[in-house]
Amino acid sequence: MLNNLLIVLPIFALILTGWIARKSGALGPNATREVNRLVVYLALPAVLFDIVANAKMSDLWEPGFIAAFTLGCFVVFAGTLWWRVSTGHHLADAAIDGLNASYANTGFVGFPLVLSLVGDTGMAPTLIATIVTVCVLFVIAIVLIEAGLQTEARPRDIVAKTLFSLVKNPLLVAPALGGLVMVSGGHLPGPVHAFLKLLGGAASPCALIALGLFLAGNSAGGASARPSTAAILVGLKLIAQPLVTWIIASPVLHLPPPMTNIAVLLSALPTGTGSFMLAEFYDREAALTGRVVLASTVFSIATISLYLAFAPA
């Protein structure tokens, strides 16, 4: 448990930094949105492009792991989406809640945690999980949000306007361009790669600071962030998703125990800041999302430690 705590401690430190900056007046009331826009338009697109462009197909071809982790994500995402829409919530809000329940923090927490527990052999599956989470799940959520926000009456107009919004979205354009580089077999020049690393390195810290700014400037306990809803989403993320992933990986696909453990461990990670970033950017469910990110990070220390204590070797 101490090892898990040390890994997530920087997350709390960055959130606290943003909270202090807002409370002390060092950053003003508009800082949350401006920092978030920095992430959306610059830092995160650099991360997405860099990850996809530098990926190797040989490292990514783990069909059993891909199936287990991806299905674990999408079963929970789709179930949460159905639950929220069927209870009268807007499609855009439901898509963000789907991310809250299934978007694992593979980048900030996954890589150091898997490296410390598994070693270098766990890096390829973690990269696969990151691409599935950040590029596939994230893209589907954005498509649903954009579709839900359209107000046209005719389906044809809704589709046209949604597609127009999507092709302008840097969070979709960046991985698509990175995919072209990967498929072509080309390599990024050293200075370009260094630039992307520098710019992309700001994504997670700025998103966490933006979360702290938001929590300091808004009431996270308002009606839009009901504790019962947040608790259900945290439970779906920390318990339901790893359980579904284990069922698919072990009883259904019969993956080897080491690969099953990595898939379940990555599924059990707390909610990443990507869902908060979208919630704040689109001004939907931000208070609820902030609470879920924070609570899932805190409680994941206990749930991951409990899984590791009983996981087969």
Please report the DSSP string for 286-299 in residue order: HHHHHHHHHHHHHH
Q: What is the pLDDT of residue 76?
A: 96
Would you list the DSSP string of 195-238? HHHHHHTTHHHHHHHHHHHHHHHS-TTSGGG-HHHHHHHHHIII
Bridge partner residues of 271 (DSSP): 104
Low-confidence ranges of the chain (pLDDT < 70): 1-8, 58-59, 120, 151-169, 171, 218-227, 312-313
Cβ neighbours of residue 35 under 8 Å, at least 6 residues apart?
A: 18, 27, 206, 209, 210, 213
Range of the domain at 131: 2-310
CA 248 to CA 35: how far, in whole Å? 39
CA 99 to CA 27: how far, in whole Å? 28
pTM of this prediction?
A: 0.78
CA 173 to CA 231: how far, in whole Å? 34
Q: Torsion angle, CA of 295/298/300/306, rounded to 10 degrees? A: -130
Tokens standing for 118?
């598994």
Q: Map tokens 């990443």 to a residue.
A: 272
Residue type, 293: V
CA 13 to CA 11: how far, in whole Å? 5
CA distances from residue 54 to 44, 81, 133 in whole angstroms, order as listed: 15, 32, 17
CA 275 to CA 227: how far, in whole Å? 18
Q: Are 269 and 104 in contact (CB under 8 A)?
A: yes
Q: What is the pLDDT of residue 123?
A: 75
Q: Chain centroid to CA 53: how far?
A: 19
Q: What is the pLDDT of residue 185?
A: 76
Q: What is the pLDDT of residue 221?
A: 43
Tokens standing for 17?
């930094």
Q: What is the pLDDT of residue 233?
A: 95
Residue type, 17: T
Question: Into how many domains does the chain fold?
Answer: 1
155: CATH = 1.20.1530.20
